[in-house]
Amino acid sequence: MPYEQLKISTSAPVLSWANHALGSEETKMAKNVASLPFVFKHVALMPDVHLGKGALVGSVVATKEALMPAAVGVDIGCGMAAIKTPFVADQLEGKLKKIRLDLEAAIPVGFNENKDIEKSVTNWQRWADFKQLHRGVQDLQGKAMRQMGSLGGGNHFIEVCIDTENQVWLMLHSGSRNIGNVLAQCHISTAKELAKMTKTSLPDPDLAYFVAGTPEFQAYWRDLQWAQNYARVNRDVMMARFKRIVEKHLAGGKPTKALLEVNCHHNYAEKEVHFGEDVYVTRKGAVRAREEDYGIIPGSMGAKSFIVKGKGNHDSYCSCSHGAGRQMSRSKAKKHFSLDDLIEQTQGIECRKDEGVLDEIPGAYKPIDEVMNHQSDLVEVVATLKQVVCVKG
């Protein structure tokens, strides 16, 4: 489906790939961002777009000479990783629960962290840059090292999936943990203070920004890049453990070679060239989808997920959706659904089935097939996956 231009009056147009009319709050949020003087050309909204903080989740914003820390968000570098294994579905028979229990024992979830720091973590070269990060995080290096290789909470997950050809895939969703959150909060606070001090007029305080070339911008950019790298390596560390666990159960512990590996951010900012100009692109709940880029678009914990390849659509700033997108808040989901609903909607999946994950029930998310149908001009589907094991944060 091609995009439609929202009928709002802003200095930059808003192009939407969503298959629904935005609500009043969503429209206001889109209008606020598109009205900023440094927004380049237009704002792109992905099919899974929904309310966020400052900027919509599922939005892609290109800017000239400025960045908004709250538009990137507090989970800097949050994203997905997946590998296609040489295993087939029949090999999982009778082993799903054991795999789930081993995953829960090996990979800390929620606020938990690793008791021991493995060699692959201590060897990460970017620890040498930690002392250069924001002064407010200098006592957090030990915690950051123990949390590398941990999942976090909320909608983060680890899944064993099977594709339509019965091939086994390993997939996970996580970000930069506490260190990314703290760095983001430090810079968001600085941007807001700076806006007050300079009496900068903003449609929303959460759209406070840094101007390129200033010390504040340079400090944020340095910390942002570090946290994005941390998030990517965090996923790599977990995936290596995940792979070893599956190999233990399916290959007697013998190492195997992945047939395809994907690791992509969906909450981040990068320098890119679009429409012949150098810009900063902020993807808040969106995946880069240049030609031949591989990406991951997960559904909910009871729905299909997709491995995709980008088509390089420049109107979307070469982007696609990052998932199904919520259609119901966490609090509303807990009120609307029961434990019986959760059990029914996750039938056939080895996962937690308790009230602690009720806010992640599939019914709280948009139908993933509809989301995919509205971005056929952004990506092509490489593999369609269905989970058989799901570990939630």
Which among 310, 300, 306, 392 is positioned nearest to 354, based on CA atoms?
392
295 is in an annotated binding site: no
- The amino acid occupying position 312 is G
| 3 state DSSP class of 390 | strand
CB 45 within 8 A of CB 59: yes
Map tokens 């200033």 to a residue: 214
322 is in an annotated binding site: yes
50 is in an annotated binding site: no
373 is in an annotated binding site: no
Which among 59, 55, 50 is positioned nearest to 15, based on CA atoms?
59
Token code pair at residue 308: 């995709």
267 is in an annotated binding site: yes
Which among 389, 88, 372 is positioned nearest to 250, based on CA atoms?
88
156 is in an annotated binding site: yes
Token code pair at residue 376: 């056929």
Spatial separation of the C-alpha atoms in residues 285 and 57, rounded to whole Å: 5
User: How many CA atoms within 13 Å lie on the side-chain side of 137?
Assistant: 25
142 is in an annotated binding site: no
155 is in an annotated binding site: yes
| 3 state DSSP class of 180 | helix
79 is in an annotated binding site: no
CA distances from 186 to 120, 224, 374 (A): 28, 11, 37
305 is in an annotated binding site: yes
Q: Which of the residues 134, 187, 265, 322 is marked catalytic?
A: 322
277 is in an annotated binding site: no
Buried-exposed string 8-34: b where 16+ CB fall within 10 A, e elsewhere = eebebbbbbbbeeebeeebbebbbbbb
380 is in an annotated binding site: no
CB 146 within 8 A of CB 111: no
Spatial separation of the C-alpha atoms in residues 179 and 53, rounded to whole Å: 19
157 is in an annotated binding site: yes
134 is catalytic: no
173 is in an annotated binding site: yes
176 is in an annotated binding site: no
Token code pair at residue 321: 């959706």
Spatial separation of the C-alpha atoms in residues 260 and 26, rounded to whole Å: 37
Indicate which residues carry an active-site annotation: 322
Residue ranges of the binding site for GMP: 155-159, 266-267, 298-301, 305, 322-325, 392
Residue ranges of the binding site: 75, 155-159, 173, 266-267, 298-301, 305, 322-325, 392
Residue ranges of the binding site for Mn(2+): 75, 156, 173, 266
